[in-house]
Amino acid sequence: FFFCFFFVFGGVADLRLQRKFKGRFATTTTTTTEKVNLGREKIVAFFTLGRRLLHAAGGRGGTSQAASSFFFGSRGLYSTMATAPTTDAPAAATGKKLHGREFYESIGSPKYILAPMVDQSEFAWRMLSRSFMPPELQSKLLAYTPMFHARLFSQDAPKPPYNKYRDSHFQCVLPKDPATLWLDGNPLVGDRPLFVQFCANDPQHLLAAALKVAPYCDAVDLNLGCPQGIAKKGHYGSFLQEDQELIYRLINTLHENLPIPVTAKIRILETKEKTLEYAKNVLSAGASILTVHGRRREQKSHLTGVADWEYIRYLRDNLPAETVIFANGNVLEHGDIEECIAATGADGVMSAEGNLSNPAIFAPEPQPGAFEDEFWRGRDGKGGWRVDAVFRRYLDILHKYVKGGEPPARRPLFVPGKGMDTEWMKEEIVIPPKKGSKSEAFGNPNYGALQAHMFHLLRHFVSKHHDVRDALARARLGELEQFEGIYKMVEKKVAEGLIEYEETDGKSMEDPAEEERLKKLVEEMGPAETSATAILRCKRPWWCVQPIIRPLPKEAMARGAIQPGKKDKKRVAEEEANGGEKRVKGDETNGRDAKVVEAVKEELEKQTEFQTSELVSG
């Protein structure tokens, strides 16, 4: 009965969609790829209509929790669709495009925000991060795609393949069946709510790109925060902040012409007052949500330093109360999220590097006794998710969704004191050789990001186990068999580390000399002036996921990590000879230290070797 109504009323929706999008390509001849895009939009309409019929019949709408749950071996992960917002949001039901706080509430008022990260916030990683969220918090996690280049994303070739860049970065439908939803933005597997981020400096390119993703996401975000040299060369990201008129036109073009809301992510400027004017311009252009990274454009690499939450609080206090603000910066572990909200008054907190080190950063710590095979607790009460458990979840998601098959059979994760068999630890682990000359990674962002993710996730692990580091470096992207072999190496070493920890009553992980050194640094420099404070707070055994903590700029200079080039040294020497004294704005140092910092800032502005036409991300 329901399927009959689905197709009958779907036909009506089909006709209405054709009329709605008829004028989009009025200036050019409709190409095959444009017809495919129209077909994709029709599929979204069919899906929405079918869900409304189920809802009218008394159902909740959407797929059931049982249908959306997925099981890897004997472990059932949290359902990624348990309470996820669906495509039939109020805007779709009423025909009205929601804006601002009304839109924010319609997608579940998310409090946890997975940041857009260059080639790193792809579908598989988003699903891994979502898998740790308990059902009641599913709608509270909003994820962004990696940043896409609007011009490259929107421009099509006259014949197939129409756009390799778009096809290899945003995979919303099956390549051989455009009528079937696949990965990015698919509500059937739980990749919602989702914002798609673009960098751009041309309003029409931005609009053309945004229209292509609108049926598969909840909003489109404009990147105004990328500080890298390639963004300076391409004139986008944070290098647009001097051109407030262009920023207004970019956002306003989407606000006026896009069927879904537009949002923006900015960095702070030199003063709170200038930052406030910047934020007002973005909001007046039509941005529904404002994300504020509490660092200036110059703060990157060894000069990253600490984000200034006071700037974000200043915006909160001086912008209208209904403004939706996300805060970004200084989130190393889950507890920092609540601290950030209390300090800034933000509606949600975004995490980038903290999430790369620990994809479970948004989830509260499990209760004692829950997930005891995945979440380790030490004698001091501190705990963390085991790297082998996270690695396993990640591989299982790749097998199930990206490769389209079942994960291999796995033994239960080793837990000391459970009487588990350890004979498997004596088996030799062989990494399969590379296959052929072409890898599955080509054309698939989920495979392409795997190696980088594992180096980030295992950063502390591989500093001890160099054989795993070398195996990761040799692995070919996309060959899951090789990564399965590396996973077995990690699983074995974690088991050995846990056994040693129990046999030594925890002393195997004690390092009194190092702890004393860190405490001495805190006393000498002050808690706010050294990264030792964060290291002491966040440090866990090497078998647990944990943040990568960068030294603060002064520490980096003391260690020699910040070094000016020959030209910079020559210029500094000339300035000293002339009695010049150069001070860096926003930096407490002066004299020669300030000159060094300034020289390094300029050194970090070097351009990449890629041509603009080959740009794939920021």
* Residues labelled as active-site residues: 226
CA distance 43 to 246: 35
The CA distance from 294 to 316, in Å, is 13
**CA distances, 429 to each of 108, 391, 484, 485, 488 (Å):** 46, 17, 10, 7, 7
Residues 6+ apart with CB under 8 A from 138: 78, 79, 80, 81, 82, 83, 84, 130, 190
The candidate with the shortest Cα–Cα distance to 6, out of 57, 72, 82, 58, is 57
**What are the helix (H) ranges across 28-99?**
32-56, 65-68, 90-94
What 3-state class would DSSP assign to 151? helix
For residue 424, CA distances in Å to 416, 428, 481 come to: 15, 9, 19
Tokens of 77: 């992960």
The span from the CA of 560 to the CA of 104, in Å, is: 46
Give the side-chain half-sphere CA count within 13 A for 63: 16
List all residues 6 or more positions away from 495 whose beta carbon is below 8 Å from its beta carbon. Answer: 414, 422, 425
Backbone dihedral angles phi then psi of residue 324, each to the nearest 5 degrees: -95, 125
* 474 residue type, one letter: R
How large is the angle between the packed helices 387-397 and 480-503, nearest 10 degrees? 160
**Token pair of 460 as six digits:** 């502390």
Burial string for 566-605 (b: 16+ CB within 10 Å, else e) reads: eebeebbeeeeeeeeebebeebebeeebbbbbbbbbeebe
